[in-house]
Amino acid sequence: MASAAPVITDVSYTDLLEDPYPVFKRVRDTAPAVFVAAANLTLVTRFDDIMSIERDPATYSSDNPASLVNKVMGPTFMRKDGAAHATGRKAIEPSFRPGTIKEHWAPKFTEICERLIGALREAGEADLFSALAAPMASLSLMEMIGFKAMPWQTLAEWSQSLIDGAGNYARDAEIDRKAMEAGAGIDAAIEAVLDHHRANPNPSILSSMVHADPPMPIEEMRANIKVIIGGGLNEPRDAILTLTLGLLENSAQKESVLARPELWPTAFEEAIRWISPIGMYPRRVTRPVDLAGVALPEGVQIGLCVGAANRDDRRFTEPDRFDMFRPKQSHLAFGAGAHFCAGTWVSRQTVGRIVVPMLFERLSNLRLRDDAPPVIRGWVFRGPVSLPVRWDA
Ligand code: HEM
């Protein structure tokens, strides 16, 4: 008979933020689902369990009327199931087609990257978070959405305010205020370009939305653009930094990929397996169910820890190591099932084929600084928040 999820109370939120991997391992070794008090959530951490959950959306729903994402951003397809999800997803799909990425986005993103790296070259040192990864992710997302040009910091701040608002379980008034302010800024930025996209069909996401059949209603457009800003900026930024860090810490692998550029895609996949930019996303249990021997009651929220599943030693040997030569195995960094990340191919192209290869090619003898080590943080979203480097100017 299935038993209730075990409970872990002696882990703090700071433990999760600073280094979630020991906690993830403990949860993985304890049971298929464990309530972790610091997260106020039942966490699922084993690879096979997450795969089986993602195959059964009727039992493990993305739809949660009480979710803060819905409150802060509005009715988004990312938090719907079935036909309601598929309609929204289909509407944005033309902007994410492999052909569109190759012919339209790749040249634009190459240009942005050349500009950012060109401006850095003489300096000889920088923190790659603010000098490259954050502006790159912001400026390319701005292009993809179809916004008018604005400072990269504006989109980055909106993104952070929305993320903070969606995670504001303590209902801090200031966090709510900032999230609302970001939402209003985004609504105004959409309004400013909608007529242009209506009159001039183009590959941007807003254009895809207004020209979809049927066109996406304005309220959904606003919500989905907010989800894309909240969820399409951090991850490529963090993936750029994580892949760079993995290579800088492992010089033999770095030499291999520089000598054989066809290895870049493999290096990219290993980086996001190693430190997954999205560590956890939620699902709601719709009926009492037995998850591999653990009884989950109807209505409970569970957190699918893909960051933990990607280090599950039942699937990956020595999972804590960055090793691009490990036996090829699929990972869960982009999720699975119906909600598999819409931005997968554009991220593979931008991070793994444009930004990080150009960085190593243009900045010679790129290296970490002994006096300023990288800082990595987060568990729901995780990545380097500071990556100081030097090169030969
Ligand atoms: C390395 C970069 C990225 C990673 C690791 C990543 C990861 C993920 C994950 C794990 C999900 C599933 C969330 C869930 O099921 O609740 C997701 C969904 C999504 N991602 Fe990404 N993402 C990345 C980049 C992007 C980019 C650049 C965009 C947009 C420009 C984007 C747009 C989306 C959208 C729209 C969804 C919702 C899909 C749906 O519900 O059908 N992502 N992403």
Q: In the structure encoding, which two tokens stand for residue 229, read together?
A: 């800003």
- pLDDT band at residue 303 under the 50/70/90 scheme: very high
Task: Indicate the burial class of 293 (C-beta count within 10 angstroms; 0-12, 13-18, 19 or more).
Answer: exposed
Mean local confidence (pLDDT), 79-107: 96
- Quick check: 220 pLDDT over 90? yes
For ligand 1, whether the C-beta of 235 sits within 6 Å is: yes
Instruction: Specify the pairing of strand 281-285 against strand 383-386.
Output: unpaired
3-state secondary structure of 82: helix
Give the single-character DSSP code of 290.
Answer: E
Weakest mean pLDDT among 4-13, 51-60, 73-82:
73-82
Centre of ligand 1 to C-alpha 49, Å, is 20
- Atom 20 of ligand 1: nearest residue by CA position: 341
Mean local confidence (pLDDT), 26-48: 96
For ligand 1, whether the C-beta of 275 sits within 6 Å is: no
For ligand 1, whether the C-beta of 347 sits within 6 Å is: yes
Place of tokens 């801090």: 172
For ligand 1, whether the C-beta of 69 sits within 6 Å is: no
Mean local confidence (pLDDT), 268-274: 98
Mean local confidence (pLDDT), 156-167: 92
> pLDDT tens digits, residue range 319-375?
999 999 999 999 999 999 999 999 999 999 999 999 999 999 999 999 999 999 999
Taking the CA of residue 89 as reference, the ligand 1 atom at the shortest distance is 41
Q: What integer pLDDT is reported at residue 168 of this predicted model?
A: 79
Q: What integer pLDDT is reported at residue 1 of this predicted model?
A: 78
Centre of ligand 1 to C-alpha 222, Å, is 17
Centre of ligand 1 to C-alpha 335, Å, is 8
Q: What integer pLDDT is reported at residue 65 of this predicted model?
A: 77
Q: What integer pLDDT is reported at residue 169 of this predicted model?
A: 72
> pLDDT tens digits, residue range 166-200?
887 777 899 999 999 999 999 999 999 999 999 99
Weakest mean pLDDT among 34-48, 69-83, 259-273:
69-83
For ligand 1, whether the C-beta of 265 sits within 6 Å is: no
Q: In the structure encoding, which two tokens stand for residue 138, read together?
A: 């912001």
Mean local confidence (pLDDT), 244-250: 98
- Quick check: 256 pLDDT over 90? yes
Neighbouring CB atoms inside 10 A of 288's CB total: 13
- Atom 16 of ligand 1: nearest residue by CA position: 281
Q: What integer pLDDT is reported at residue 35 of this predicted model?
A: 97
For ligand 1, whether the C-beta of 206 sits within 6 Å is: no
Superfamily of structural domain 3-390 = Cytochrome P450 (1.10.630.10)
Weakest mean pLDDT among 10-14, 47-51, 105-109, 265-269:
10-14
Centre of ligand 1 to C-alpha 69, Å, is 14
Mean local confidence (pLDDT), 246-260: 98
Q: What integer pLDDT is reported at residue 64 of this predicted model?
A: 84
Centre of ligand 1 to C-alpha 334, Å, is 6
For ligand 1, whether the C-beta of 209 sits within 6 Å is: no
Dihedral-angle region of residue 392 (phi above 0 means left; psi in -120 to 50 means alpha; beta otherwise): beta
The Cα 316–Cα 254 span in angstroms is 21
Centre of ligand 1 to C-alpha 364, Å, is 33
For residues 236 and 347, the answer to whether their CB atoms sit within 8 Å is yes
Mean local confidence (pLDDT), 141-168: 95
Average pLDDT over the chain, rounded to an integer: 96
**At a CB cut-off of 8 Å and minimum separation 6, what does 72 contact?**
162, 165, 166, 168, 179, 183, 226
